[in-house]
Amino acid sequence: MPYKLDDEGIYWATLADWGMDQSKKGRRFYGLIFEITHVSCGQDKPVALPRSLTRTVRLFLDDEENMPDYNERKLGKLGFNWNYAAGEFSEEATQKGTWVICTHSFQDNVTYANWDLYEPDQQRSKQRRKRIDAPQELLDKLNAKGQQYADKQKDNIPF
């Protein structure tokens, strides 16, 4: 099955650029621009995309109640030097790469691709609705299988 960028899924990427920016609605964010090169297809090795493209992960800075812990965790994962004016990140993030995830949200009959750093144990966003009630046994089975895959990929350059 061919994959295209912005399909929901987990992707391999390197951090290419970063800096402060502002959304069209005036919200301040720290933008992390990733070069996306591979998609995880549930196989041992990710599949290379026909060409690499860039996507931005936005860490919003204007929600002081919810964002500090979230931003610290995300930026810390990338080896951030904690200097927002002259930010630097680890060689691991800029040269070797990290996993990012694309999820979809729907608003006014439009599908939006949302990019974020992937964490094997990440929780669904508070804004996302629970779509169905699944039996706990099924959820446990799926979670265990997903965790096995995540453990296999953890700290491992996949190609």
pLDDT in tens, 26-77: 888 888 999 988 888 766 677 888 777 888 888 876 655 556 677 788 888 8
The model's pLDDT over 88-144, given as tens digits with 9 standing for 90+, comes to 999 999 999 998 988 888 888 888 888 888 887 654 443 444 445 566 776 676 677
Q: Three-state SS across 12-23?
A: EEEEEEEEEEEC
**Tokens representing residue 53 in the block:** 């493209």
Q: Work out the end-to-end distance of the chain between its first and last CA atoms, rounded to an integer number of angstroms.
A: 20
Which residues, at least 6 apart from 124, have a Cβ–Cβ distance to it below 8 Å?
A: none
